[in-house]
Amino acid sequence: MELTNESNQFNHLIVGASRGIGRSLLDLSIDAGHNVCALSRSRPDTIPSGCDWIEGDAGKPELFLDKLPESIHALTFCPGKVILGPIKRLKSEQMLDAYKTSVLDAFTLVQSLLPKLSGSIAFLSSVAARTGLPSHCAISAAKSGLEGFAIALAADLAPKVRVNVVAPTLTPTEMGLSMVGGDKMIPLIEGKHPLKKIPSVEEVAAMLNFLHSPAAVSITGQVFKVDSGRSQLRLNS
């Protein structure tokens, strides 16, 4: 059951809201009339009305817990960090950094928020969690760990809190474009997807938003691939 507080105020905490998918989700949540609390390591130059912004590290919740609402009805975890490189050049510190950002920080934050949480949690993963891609060892290991954590967490927190994951393919965010050498490479990448397109930032944010909505109250423990068929389909050439 989706829970709201007695004042009918829906409190949504978004981790990684300063840009990209997180920022798009922030706008959707504000437009829906939610009370949005955004957490990021850096504070943006402009903060939209209807949003409380906290500058902080998700892995150190003790530094900002007292700034959060008493009840949190939706938590979205989508911090942005991409560590790429072939296995011969990856360092153990990079593997650990990727794991910390995706898994340990998620665990630490959720555990600290347990007294406040109801409703739903949505994590942002990647198609790389289950698709073998060159130079993706660090992110693949980290996002696979996040997905496993999320599914087990869904079992732990049912029926009070639902937990789901959204796993997109490349999206045209600033970070995503930097991975592939800029938007000039997008047509080539789109051609590798069965739908001949990559999802927009808004499409991925809309899926996250849906998972927090009353329409999703019977959905938990699932991984949703917003990837234009990239991970599942193989078409005749």
Average pLDDT over residues 97-117: 97
Task: List pLDDT tens digits, range 62-93.
Answer: 999 999 999 999 999 999 778 888 999 999 99
Q: What is the pTM of this model?
A: 0.91
E strand intervals along 137-237 = 161-168, 222-226
Q: What is the CA 116 to chain-centroid distance, rounded?
A: 20
Task: List pLDDT tens digits, range 173-201.
Answer: 666 666 666 677 778 878 888 899 989 99
Which domains are delineated in the chain?
11-173+200-226 (3.40.50.720)
Average pLDDT over residues 50-62: 93
Task: List pLDDT tens digits, range 148-166.
Answer: 999 999 999 999 999 999 9
CB atoms within 10 A of CB 88: 5
Q: Which bin fits 26, alpha (ψ -120 to 50), beta or left (φ > 0)?
A: alpha
Average pLDDT over residues 98-109: 96
